[in-house]
Structures are given as C-alpha cells and as structure tokens.
Amino acid sequence: MGAAVERTDEHVREYLIYRGFTSTLKHLDSDMKADKEKGFRVDKIIDQLQLFIHNFDLNGLKDYWGYLDRRLFCRLEDIYRPTVSKLRTSLFRYYVVYTVQLKNLEKTQEFFQRQAQELQGQLEWRDWFILPFMPAPEQNPLFSPYFSRQWSDTFLVSLHNFLSVLFQCMPQPVLLSFDSEVQRTTCLQEENDQLRHVLFSLQGEAKLKKQEEMVHHKLPPYVQNMDRLGDTELDLVTSQHNPALTTTPSRNFFSTFLPQARRVPGKMPRGLPGSSPTQASLGRKDTAANQPKDPVPASKEPKPVGS
C-alpha cells in the first residue's frame, strides 16, 4: 500500500503543477514532510519508533503511539484491542530494556516515575518496578528473556506484520483504487506477453517437428537392396509391382477369322543401324516373293440340262 500511496502523491503533485495551484502545492509538500503515517510505509513507521527509543525520547514515543492509536487502532473492532494493548506493553518494555542495556539508569528511573500512576495497576508491570534496583537484571530468570536478541526481533516483526495487515484492510479512496487497477492491468499485459511468447515458441517447435516428420519417408523394402540387384532381378521386381507390364498384348479381333495363310504379316522393323535403305527395300521384295500365291479357284462345271 505504501508504494501505491507514494505514486498517488506524485500524481496529485503533477496535477497541482499542471493546474497552477502553487499555494496548494506548498501546503501539500509541508504536510507530506510532517506526515506521521509516513505514507503508510510500515518500515518507516518502525524506524520512527526505534528513533525515539534510541534517543531516549519517552515523550515523543508516547505521543507517536497515541497518534497511531487515535488514527488507526481506534477503528479496529473490539476483538483486536487486546492485541494493540500487548503491542503497546512490549514497546515500552523494549524502551526500558534498552535503557538498562546502555546503563542509563537515569532514563530507567524516569520511565517508572512518569508511568507509575498508569502502570502500577496493571499486573504485567507489577514485577518491573524492581528493575532499576537490580544489579544484573539480564541474569534474572524473570527478565532474562527480554534481554535476548530473539525477543526484540520477534517483537519488531510482530509489530511490522500487524501494521501491514491493518493498512491492507483499510478502506481505500478512489485514487488508490485507480492506482491498483492500473497495476493490475499492467500485470495482466505482462502476463499476456509472456504467454504469447510461450505460444510462439510452442508453435515454432511444432512446425519444426512437422517438417522433420515430412522429411523422413518410409520407402518400399526393395529400395534398401536396390544397389545389389541386377538388371534381370530389377525387371522381375518391377514386373511384380506392375502386373500390366507382363500381360500379353491382345491381337486384332479380325485376325482370328482369317486363315493362317491370309493373315497379313506385321510390319517389318526398320533397318538396323548401319544398314542402307536399299538393303531394307530388297529385304521387303524377297519377303513378298517367297510368300505363296493364292490358288485360282476351279470353275464350276455346268449342270446338264435335262432332256
């Protein structure tokens, strides 16, 4: 939430500059410098509390916690009041332990003197009034846990988490809602870009895989041994795969009705390479001379006319 508030403040300043509201801009800058909520930045609030403790500023510590109580904690439901009370008690114990660790006995006694009227009626503080008079309180089983680094770290983390949840659950104004919507839209655009990149990568891989599958075709088995086949074997394999090439060509239909002697011989093949046209014509004449001529049919005898 702190980042959203910071961006919104910048937008407001930009708008005031654009509109020329210089006096309003000066008041805004001064209020932002004196902002006790630190722009809802939890880490800065924790730093401010620790700064009061390290400077032994008890009044500043009480006033700042009272401001947070009036501004934030009072809006919580009653079931969260014990949690706020425990955090306040731990915060003041953190201050007292810090004064004892730095051996600033004056600040330790000042705390109990100024808070005596408020704390003497509380059970959780009843045993703490003897702390300024103990020579080594860090060795006492009652106070030794509070002098450990683990306790101080646990307290600061608990306070940080409580404030973070509180700021997240607070009702937000329209400007902050607009900023959250812009951030959500930006995240969606980035996510869409990433998914689009993944989609393009998957499409490229699928296309490359498809091209590889198209390259590797499965050929017939005889192609694998084609380099070891002879011409005769290759013709045999080809005829087995093409039955139309092994069928006997059909003869002329009318040739079946002609006698064997009257069948017209087929055309002679053209002369072989190297033979002259004269030799080819002589061969045709010899063939025609050797063919037997058809016998002349005998004339029919006339039938005698009966007397």
Q: What is the pLDDT of residue 282?
A: 44
pLDDT above 70 as % of the chain: 68
Q: What is the pLDDT of residue 163?
A: 94
Tell me, rounded to whole angstroms, the distance of Cα 253 from its chain centroid.
78
Q: What is the pLDDT of residue 272?
A: 47
Q: What is the pLDDT of residue 116?
A: 87
Q: What is the pLDDT of residue 172?
A: 80
Average pLDDT over residues 172-194: 82
| Dihedral sign, Cα of residue 81, residue 82, residue 83, residue 84 | positive
Measure Cα distances from 144 to 95, 98, 123, 149, 152 in Å.
Answer: 15, 13, 19, 11, 12
Q: What is the pLDDT of residue 260?
A: 52
> Which one has a higher pLDDT value, 65 or 227?
65
Average pLDDT over residues 205-210: 76
47 and 55 Cβ atoms separated by less than 8 Å:
no
Q: What is the pTM assigned to this prediction?
A: 0.58
DSSP string, 127-156: GGGGGGG-S-GGGSTTTGGGGSHHHHHHHH
> Which one has a higher pLDDT value, 171 or 94?
94
pLDDT band at 277 (very low <50, low <70, confident <90, very high): very low
Residues 6 or more apart in contact with residue 265 via CB below 8 angstroms: 287
Average pLDDT over residues 299-306: 48
Average pLDDT over residues 154-158: 96
47 and 41 Cβ atoms separated by less than 8 Å:
no
Q: What is the pLDDT of residue 232?
A: 55
pLDDT band at 89 (very low <50, low <70, confident <90, very high): very high
> Which one has a higher pLDDT value, 229 or 164?
164
Q: What is the pLDDT of residue 285?
A: 46
pLDDT above 90 as % of the chain: 34
pLDDT digits (tens, 9 = 90+) for 228-271: 555 555 555 555 555 554 555 555 555 555 555 455 454 554 54
Q: What is the pLDDT of residue 297?
A: 47
Residue 266 CB burial class (10 angstroms; 0-12, 13-18, ≥19):
exposed
> Which one has a higher pLDDT value, 295 or 239?
239
Q: What is the pLDDT of residue 240?
A: 59
- Domains of the chain, by residue range, sit at 1-34, 41-171, 175-216
| Max Cα-Cα span within the chain | 190
Average pLDDT of the chain, as a whole number: 78
Q: What is the pLDDT of residue 305?
A: 44
Q: Please, what is the Cα angle at 101 between 130 and 92, to 5 degrees?
A: 65
Residue 119, classed as helix, strand or coil, is helix
Q: What is the pLDDT of residue 213?
A: 62
Tell me, rounded to whole angstroms, the distance of Cα 165 from its chain centroid.
29
174 and 4 Cβ atoms separated by less than 8 Å:
no
Average pLDDT over residues 163-188: 83
Q: What is the pLDDT of residue 174?
A: 79
